[in-house]
Structure 1
Amino acid sequence: MTVRALLVDDHPVVRAGLRAMFESFEGIEVVAEAADGSAALAVAADQAQAGAALDVVVMDIQMKPMGGIEATRAFKAAGGPPVLILTTFDTQGDIVAAIEAGALGYLLKDAPPEQVQAAVLATARGERTLSPEITAALMERMQRPAISLSAREMELLKLLATGATNKELAEALFISQATVKTHLVHIYTKLGVDNRTAAIAAARREGLL
């Protein structure tokens, strides 16, 4: 049986490279591409409506307007296809947020092709797949007292580090500015700080960014 995959990445050149690599994989067919999470959700819905549901979504993290973590959460909530994160971002914050959002796998883009192939097939079967580097990062996180931020708080914290205003945070996450302020209060409390600059510094010390 051939696994039907959707590639999601905001860089056309990267998608082209991934498609070329996937075409060399036995048992995997790239049936569609998308440039961000919202487009991926639309493609998946179209495929399902056409009676050709996807088996796996291979997705990057940082994309606009909807990133991979938020899209993964949406796929999981909708009972959609399993998600394998394939990205260059390896911070503990990204990893934890992706796993909490429902990603079954997390792999870095510099992984050997055979490892990528195995991860895609395993994810399509509903099996969890983490690269050795990702497993090590998670173990390190587990072995020390960790600050527990929700997946949504992690998304907001990452955007906060870019210098985004409350209005920009609200637009990026499709929430109200009042909700942004509530999340910020929770983040500040958990990090033991009282402002944005201190929150970003604390998050970096904790390996969240």
Structure 2
Amino acid sequence: MIRVLLVDDQALVRSGFRIILESEPDLEVVGEAATGAEAVALARDLRPDVICMDVEMPVMDGIEATRQILADTSPAILILTTFGHDRYLFDALAAGVSGFLLKTSRAEQLIDAVHALARGEALLGPDVTKAVLERIAGAPTQSARSAAADPALREPGAPPMVPGGAPTAVPAVSPAASPAASPAGDSTALEAAGLTEREREVLTLIAQGHSNAEIAAALFLGESTIKTHVSNVLQKLGVRDRIQAVVWAHTRGAA
């Protein structure tokens, strides 16, 4: 059985998650917490395999609760968030969470996410991936910082820069029209990492938020083969999980 702890300050939300998760024969909700402080205590006492964690809660928020829990025990933590909470994404990554999913996701997506985290995988819901990529896109590059200092260096029609070098409007990062995207393209970073051509293709699709099954379908390979490629990519990039691989790819212009 996969033991799950639910953490959310809304009782109705917890009840809904419990009904969804306990519809699966291998999932058991072993406890519920309404605050981050309660979550820390229950995680220590119940030793769950996966914790479904809200972010904004009274007494202690989900990010601080995550830090304290992972300092003492080692469950996989799934942040269940909303669009309004995307400002917490990188704080939560730094705290050590294993996944993000929107509360508006379908029931089967929640079930799949809990199973994935219990297997030791990491997961970003597609809409959350988009929020991460938009946040990364908002980080000014060196050329953008130079343009902020010298208006003559800006591209014609570029948006005006605000103090700190960020454009006043950051365009959204659109996913590729087809999952079978071309391999990630920053050759310097990729060559330094030692990725093969196939591993570059896999990294591109990871960076777009695709699951192993979707990558396998796009590349006409078996899912076990993709799992091996993903493990090799993570090892060569020196990252802990596929979430960090997404950040690696996009901060280096390699996807």
Aligned-pair CA distance for 1:146: 5.5
Partner of residue 8, structure 1: 7
Match of 2:26 in 1: 27
What is the distance in 2 between the residues matched to 1:146 and 1:85? 27
Query: What is the TM-score when the length of structure 1 is the normalising length?
Result: 0.64
Instruction: Identify the residue that residue 88 of structure 1 maps to in structure 2.
Output: 82
Mapped partners of 2:33, 2:22: distance in 1: 17
Mapped pair 1:127 → 2:121: yes
Gaps of 5+ in 2: 142-162, 171-255
Q: Give the total of aligned pairs.
A: 148
CA–CA distance in 2 between the matches of 1:91 and 1:11? Answer: 16
CA shift at 1:61, angstroms? 0.5
Distance, in Å, in 1 between the alignment partners of 2:19 and 2:10 is: 14
**CA RMSD in angstroms, aligned pairs only:** 2.5
SS at match of 1:96: helix
Identity within the alignment, % = 46
Q: Secondary structure at the match of 1:62?
A: coil
Q: Which segments of structure 1 move beyond 6 Å, counting only runs of 4 or more?
A: none
TM-score calculated relative to the size of structure 2: 0.53
Q: Is the 8 A contact 2:44 2:72 kept in 1?
A: no
Contact 1:107 1:134 survives alignment (8 Å)? yes
Corresponding residue for residue 40 of structure 1: 39
Q: Could you list the per-position Cα deviations for residues 51-72 of structure 1 after superposition, in whole angstroms to 9, with x for gaps in the alignment?
A: xx31010011000101111111
Q: Distance in 2 between matches of 1:18 and 1:91?
A: 19
Unaligned stretches of 5+ residues in structure 1: 48-52, 148-190, 193-201
Q: Would the aligned equivalents of 2:5 and 2:29 in 1 still touch at CA under 8 Å?
A: yes
* Alignment map for 1:94-113 (pairs within 5 Å): 94-113=88-107
Conserved? CA contact 1:90–1:134, under 8 Å: no
**Which one has a bigger Cα radius of gyration?**
2
Q: 1:146 to 1:36 in 2, by over 3 A?
A: farther
Residue 86 of structure 1 and its aligned partner are, at CA, apart by 1.1
Provide the C-alpha distance between the structure 1 equivalents of 2:74 and 2:107, rounded to a whole number of angstroms: 25
Within 2, Cα distance between the matches of 1:61 and 1:115?
19
The Cα of 1:103 is off from its aligned counterpart by 0.9
Q: Indicate how the Cα distance of structure 1 residues 29 and 58 shifts in structure 2: closer, same or farther if over 3 A, else same.
A: same
Q: 2:53·2:78 contact (CA, 8 Å) conserved in 1? A: yes
CA–CA distance in structure 2, aligned partners of residues 79 and 34 of structure 1: 17
Within 2, Cα distance between the matches of 1:205 and 1:35? Answer: 37
Give the AA of the match of 1:84. L
Greater RCO (Cα-Cα under 8 Å, separation 6 or more): 1
Between stretches 3-12 and 82-91, larger displacement belongs to 82-91
